[in-house]
Amino acid sequence: MDVSGRPLMSRLDLDTVLSWVPEGSRVLDLGCGDGAFLARLSEERDAIGVGVDIDPANLVTAVSRGLDVIQEDINDGLHCFTTNRFDVVILAHALQELTHPHIALQRMVDIADEAIVSFPNFGHWSCRLHLGVKGRMPMSRVMPRHWYDTPNIHFCTVMDFDALCSALHIDIIERATIAGPAQHFLGRWFPNLFATSAIYRIRRSGD
Amino acid sequence: MNLSDGSVGLVTPQVAHFDEPFTFSSGAVLHSHELVYETYGQLNHAGDNAVLICHALSGSHHAAGYHSEEDRRPGWWDLAIGPGKPIDTNRLYVVCSNNLGCCDGSSGPNTINPATKEPWGGAFPQPQVKDWVRSQKRLAEHLNIPRWAAVIGGSLGGMQALQWAVDFPDWVEHCIALAAAPGLTAQNIAFNEIARHAILSDPDWCHGDYLAQGKLPTRGVALARMVGHLTYMSADGMSDRFGRELREGSFAPGDNSEWVFQVESYLRHQGARFSTQFDANTYVLMTRALDLFELAADYKSDLVAALSVAEADFLIASFSSDWRFPPQRSIEIRDALLAAGKPVTYANIDTDNGHDGFLLPNPTYEALLSAWMCRVGPS
C-alpha cells in the first residue's frame, strides 16, 4: 500500500510479474480488469493470454484490445479451466478480494505449471501503526475504502502467505517485494515489516 | 422505412437455384432446390470479408434493411447489421439465407414439389442443422466466397454457427454463438412437442396437406407460437411489461364483463399474426431439427472432441434471464472450447429480456459485439 502518494504499488508489482513470465507462454490472468496488463504481456512477452473478469465494462474494453476474456467469478472455483492448460496463471492484487483465497490458490497451481500472486502486505509498518496507534483499520491511496464497504475482505501478511503455502503444500519458487525507496533494502531483508506488496512465484509441491 | 439509424436501406432478396441433387442426413434427396438469401455490403477481391448470418426458428433471410419504402419493420437483426453497426456493412459482406425447409422462399413445405406439381406439404424431407450447413456451403460456393470471415447466429442460428465450425473447420475463421446450446434438454423437447401437438391437433392440419386442400391450421400454429413466445421472455421482463394490467374489463366490484389482461392480448396478437405468416409444416420441421440437434453427435457425444476440430475463434454469449437456453448451456460450450484449447470469449449479458435478449437493444451486448467484431475480416 502506498501511504505517501508515490506511483501505485500495483503498477510496480506488474513489472515484476511481467519479468517472471517466459516468452511465448500461455497465460491466464485472473481478475484481468480492462486487459491492459494482458495486452502488455502479449506485446512484450509474446504471451498467448486469456483473461478472467466479472465486470462487463472491463470485458468490453479487454475485448476491444483484441483479447480473449471469460466473464466469470473467480470465487466460483475456476472449474472451467482444465488441469495444466496454462504455463502461467496470474493473480495480481486480487487475492484479498476473494471469498476463499486458499481454494483459489490450490486451483491455480493445478491449472498452470506456475502461478504468480501479488498482494498488499498487511504486516507493513504503516498498517501496524494505523491499527496500533490510531486503533482504526488502515486506509491508504491504494485501499481508500472503509472496512465495511471495501472489496478487500481477506488481508494477509507476508508471513501469513508463507504459512498458507506451506499448509497447502505449495512450493515458493521465488519472492519479490516492493517497498518505498527509503525502505528498499529493509523491504528485502524484513519483508513482513517493510514490504508494501509481495509477489510470489509458486507451484504445486513435488513438480 | 427508417434510415436514420445506420440502415442498409432497401434490400432485394435473391434466389440461388441448384440443379445437383441434395441428400439430407435422413437419406431423402431433393433433385433440385432453391435457396433465397439477402446480402449487405460488398464482397472484396480477396473474398476475406464475408460473414454468414444464421437465422433462428422463426427467422428468415431478411436480417436487415427494408423491402420497400412502405415497409415499417426492418429485418430481424437490423439492430446488429448495417453501416457502422456491430456487423459493419461498410467493411463486411453479409449473407443471410433462408434455411432449406423453411417457408420464406427457399425450397420447403410451402413450395411446389416438381414431381407432383403440388405443394410439398408434409412430404418435405426433415432437415437437420448439419444439412443446412451443407446447403449453405453450396450457396457460398455459388457466391464465390472461399471461406467465412465469421459465421454468426443466435439460438438455433447459434447452433448452426457452431455446426459450421465443427463440420467445415477450414471454412470458419470466427464463430459467434448467442443464446445457444450444445443440444436440447428434455424440457426443451417437451415445449417443442407441445407446439407440434397444437398444430397436429388442429382439424385444418389435414395430415400436413392443408395447402393442397385450401386450408390453414391457424389455431394450432397460433397456440404453438404462444407457447414458444412464452419461453422467449423472462418472468421479470413480462412483469415489467405487462404486470397485471387489464386491456379490457375492470377489477371494479360487480363488473363481470370479459377480462382481458394485457399479457393475454399480447400473446393472442403474437399467435394470430404468426399463424397467417408462418407455415405449419415448417414449424414442425424446425422444432424437430432443434430436437435432433446435437453438436457432438458425430463425436460420441464428446463436446470437447467435437470442438477440438474447429479452427475458429469463438464468441459465446448468454443472456442472464434466458430460461429456454440458459447461461449454463452456453457455459457448457465455453468450457468445452477451453478444454479443447480454442480461443474463446464468453459473456453473460445481464438482461430481463430472456431468450429474446440476443435480438433486443442492450448497451453492454452491443458494445461487446462491436468490440469483438473488430477482429473479423481484413484489418
In sequence order, what DSSP letters do the residues of B111-154 get, joined into one string?
SEETTTTEE-GGGS----HHHHHHHHHHHHHHTT--SBSEEEEE
Beta strands in chain B (DSSP E): 14-18, 22-23, 29-30, 33-40, 50-54, 81-82, 87-88, 93-97, 112-113, 118-119, 150-154, 174-178, 246-248, 260-261, 313-319, 344-349
In a domain, A102, yes or no: yes
Q: How far is B350 from chain A (nearest CA, A)?
A: 9
pLDDT over 90 percentage in chain B: 96
Q: Is B275 a catalytic residue?
A: no
**Residue B295 CA neighbour count, 13 Å, CB half:** 33
A47 part of contact set with chain B, CB < 8 Å:
no
> What would be the CATH architecture of the domain defined by B191-286?
Orthogonal Bundle (1.10)
pLDDT of the residue at A11: 66
Chain B hits for A68, Cβ within 8 Å: 313, 343-345
Cα–Cα distance, B151 to B102 (Å, whole number) = 20
Specify the CATH number of the domain B14-183+294-373. 3.40.50.1820
pLDDT 10s digits, B134-175: 999 999 999 999 999 999 999 999 999 999 999 999 999 999
What residues make up the domain containing A193? 26-126+155-204
pLDDT of the residue at A7: 38
In terms of Cβ atoms closer than 10 Å to its own Cβ (0-12, 13-18, 19+), residue B238 is middle
A72 part of contact set with chain B, CB < 8 Å:
yes
* Average pLDDT of chain B, as a whole number: 96
pLDDT 10s digits, B33-56: 999 999 999 999 999 999 999 999
Q: Is B350 a catalytic residue?
A: no
Chain B hits for A59, Cβ within 8 Å: 345, 347, 368
Q: How far is A112 from chain B (nearest CA, A)?
A: 13
**pLDDT band (50, 70, 90) for residue A183:** confident
Instruction: Compare B173 and A177 and report the one with higher pLDDT.
Output: B173
pLDDT 10s digits, A103-150: 999 999 999 999 999 999 998 888 898 889 999 888 887 778 899 999
Q: How many domains does chain A have?
A: 1
Closest residue of chain A to B366, computed from CA coordinates: A60
**pLDDT band (50, 70, 90) for residue A185:** confident
**pLDDT band (50, 70, 90) for residue B2:** confident
In a domain, A180, yes or no: yes
Interface test with A, best of B174, B178, B372, B376 (most A CBs within 10 A): B372
For residue A179, give the CATH number of its domain. Answer: 3.40.50.150
pLDDT(A1) > 70: no
**pLDDT band (50, 70, 90) for residue A190:** confident
CB-closest option in A63, A68, A85 to B368 = A63
In a domain, A87, yes or no: yes
Length of chain B: 379
Interface of B to A at Cβ within 8 Å reads: 313, 331, 334-335, 338-339, 341, 343-350, 364, 367-368, 371-372, 374-375
Chain A with chain B: Cβ pairs closer than 8 A: 51
In sequence order, what DSSP letters do the residues of chain A get, joined into one string?
--SS-SSPHHHHHHHHHHHHS-TT-EEEEET-TTSHHHHHHHHHH--EEEEEE--HHHHHHHHHTT-EEEE--GGG--TTSPTT-EEEEEEES-GGG-S-HHHHHHHHHHHEEEEEEEEEBTTSHHHHHIIIII-S----SSS-S-TTT-S----B-HHHHHHHHHHTTEEEEEEEEE--GGGHHHHHHSHHHH-SEEEEEEEETT-
pLDDT(A207) > 70: no
Chain B hits for A63, Cβ within 8 Å: 345, 368, 371-372
Mean pLDDT of B197-208: 97
CA nearest neighbour of B249 among B259, B239, B240, B241 = B259
Q: Which of B88, B322, B352, B356 is catalytic?
A: B322
pLDDT of the residue at A8: 45
Q: Grid coordinates standing for B300? A: 460420441
pLDDT of the residue at B47: 96
**Residue B215 · residue B206 · CB < 8 Å:** yes
pLDDT of the residue at A25: 97
Return the domain boundaries, chain B: 14-183+294-373, 191-286
Q: Which residue carries 476473494 as its cell?
A: A98
pLDDT of the residue at B1: 76
In a domain, A175, yes or no: yes
In a domain, A145, yes or no: no
* Average pLDDT of chain A, as a whole number: 89
pLDDT(A162) > 60: yes
pLDDT of the residue at A82: 84
Q: What is the CA radius of gyration of chain B?
A: 21
Closest residue of chain A to B376, computed from CA coordinates: A66
In a domain, A138, yes or no: no
Q: Is B142 a catalytic residue?
A: no
